[in-house]
A and B are shown apart, each in its own frame.
Chain A
Amino acid sequence: VDDCEQRELTAGYALGALDRDDASRFEAHLRRCKACAAEVEAFRDALLVLAHTAEPAEPPAELRGRILAEVAPRAIDRPRRSFRSPFRWPLPALATGLAAAAACTVIVVVGTQGSGAGGPAALLGEPVAAEVALQPTGIGRILVGRDGKVVAQVTLHRAPAGKAYEAWVMPKGDAQRARPAGLLRGDGTQTVVLSARAHQGDVVGFTLEPAGGSPRPTSPPVATAHV
């Protein structure tokens, strides 16, 4: 490191104190100079000492939820452009009045984050055959048991008034044969047992539906996982 003429800038960079021009030049340099990059990262720890001279303060309680809402379940507010469902949903399928009449499955909400006893695997009650992340990334995951039982751990915004999230299990590529797998309100992270079983090749998905549920999905999925 000692022979690198840029070395002196490592400390200022770690402190965020370089002037704009220096900073952009130095960032280009960092991509080439491993020694300086390592030095910057090592200097970061010195920031802890400065930071620790501050008095800790309690942030407003809602800040945590705002951050998690920003990173994870975006899809509800504005669908991520990059998120393409792996299968096609029939859109729109049915008038909502008819849809509401078809609410025949009720999901069992077995626990929300913070209260889970034993975690999703314990809720499954059968050996875990697969664990699959829900897409988009960060929204949650599903566990599928050997006999097809499905436990989903999913983080969703609270559904708007008059709406609920509906879970579905369907053969891949055949949304017409989607089976309703229960409803949930969505409010933070929930662990739920689906009321339909899934097998290899199936797709598990969630859509926003009228509060009573629909017999078929009527909106694009907010989350999917391919078993």
Chain B
Amino acid sequence: MNRIGRRGELGRVEASSYLSDEALVGLVARGDEGALGALYDRHAQLAYGVARRLLRDAQLAEDAVQEGFVNVWRQASSFRPERSRAASWILMLVHRRAVDLVRREERRRADAIDERAELVADAANTEETALSHLERELAAKMLAQLPDQQREVLELAFWGGYSQSELADRLGVPLGTIKSRMFNGMARVRALMEDETWTTANSAN
């Protein structure tokens, strides 16, 4: 007979409203599907927005979100809260599925950045909160501080799903240059996050 644990008095519904993302991932690792639902409620809108922008197809974007969240369930026990935020881990899992899908659907490949008009139309469907607007402005401001060549490589990889060698071909520069631009760009973003104390993403919790 298992003695009741710390979780004993904690119904799922009550738990979901105040637990951190990281704690919810911990519950998911113990098979709590209510906790997965709570993570979905917090992150699915951004995840779906990311997947749609990358895939430009509502059905494929749904597939990416679904497979991403199923991977949250399957891989929850490997998540290390001391190393990265749960939000970025979840978004990475969805993004990774979206990249797999976009690589399969070659023709849909984004010319990553110049599709903003279409995206704005999509966004009209969502009531954007003041907070998410703030986050978007902050994110854009941070990326604007990167040297153009670094930003270009990050955006094409993230939104176009291009691999490093594809980027080298596309931009006509050596593979080694792409690798170092990507590394330096990511390192710069990370440093900016520390400067800016990227708190807004977490305060959504």
B-binding residues in A (CB < 8 A)? 7-12, 14-20, 22, 38, 41-60, 63-64, 66-68, 70-72, 113-114, 116, 118-121, 128-133, 137-138, 143-144, 153, 155, 189, 200, 227
Contact = CB atoms under 8 A, between A and B. Distances in A.
B8 A128 contact: yes
Contacts of B104: none
B194 to A, nearest CB: 10
Given A57-B52, A116-B11, A17 B193 contact: no
A44 B92 contact: yes
Contacts of A66: 66
B82 to A, nearest CB: 9
Given A56-B48, A63-B44, A66-B66, A14 B143 contact: no
Contacts, number: 232
24 contacts: A12-B157, A17-B163, A18-B164, A41-B83, A41-B84, A42-B84, A47-B158, A48-B91, A48-B198, A51-B46, A51-B95, A53-B136, A53-B139, A55-B128, A56-B123, A59-B48, A67-B66, A70-B70, A113-B34, A114-B13, A116-B11, A131-B2, A138-B73, A153-B11
Contact of A51 (B50, B65, B142, B164): B50
Contacts of A48: 85, 87-88, 91, 139, 193, 198, 201
Give the interface SS of chain B, mostly helix, strand, loop or mixed: helix
Given A48-B201, A71-B36, A11 B11 contact: no
B36 to A, nearest CB: 6
- Chain B interface bracket (under 10, 10 to 19, 20 to 34, 35 or more): 35 or more
A177 to B, nearest CB: 20
Nearest to A37: B83
A119 B14 contact: yes
B126 A52 contact: no
Contacts of A63: 44, 48, 62, 65-66
A79 B3 CA distance: 29
B90 to A, nearest CB: 10
Nearest to A43: B186
- By CB atoms of chain B within 10 A, which of A42, A52, A155 has the most? A52
B182 A17 contact: yes
B164 A71 contact: no
A130 B3 contact: yes
A108 B126 CA distance: 39
A45 B193 contact: yes
B149 interface: no
Interface of B: 1-5, 7-14, 31-34, 36-37, 40-41, 44-46, 48-50, 52-53, 58, 61-62, 65-66, 69-70, 73, 80, 83-85, 87-89, 91-92, 95-96, 99, 119-120, 122-123, 125-126, 128, 132, 135-136, 138-140, 142-143, 154-155, 157-159, 161-167, 179-180, 182-183, 185-187, 189-190, 192-193, 198, 201
Contacts of A22: 164
Contacts of A16: 92, 95-96, 99, 157, 161
Nearest 4 interchain pairs by C-beta: A119-B11, A55-B123, A41-B83, A11-B186
A44 B88 contact: yes
Contacts of B66: 63, 66-67, 70
B37 A60 contact: no
B163 A19 contact: yes
A18 B70 contact: no
B84 A58 contact: no
Contact of B12 (A9, A128, A153): A153
Contacts of B65: 59, 63, 67
A226 to B, nearest CB: 9
Contact of B70 (A43, A67, A114): A67
A19 B136 CA distance: 29
A14 B92 contact: yes
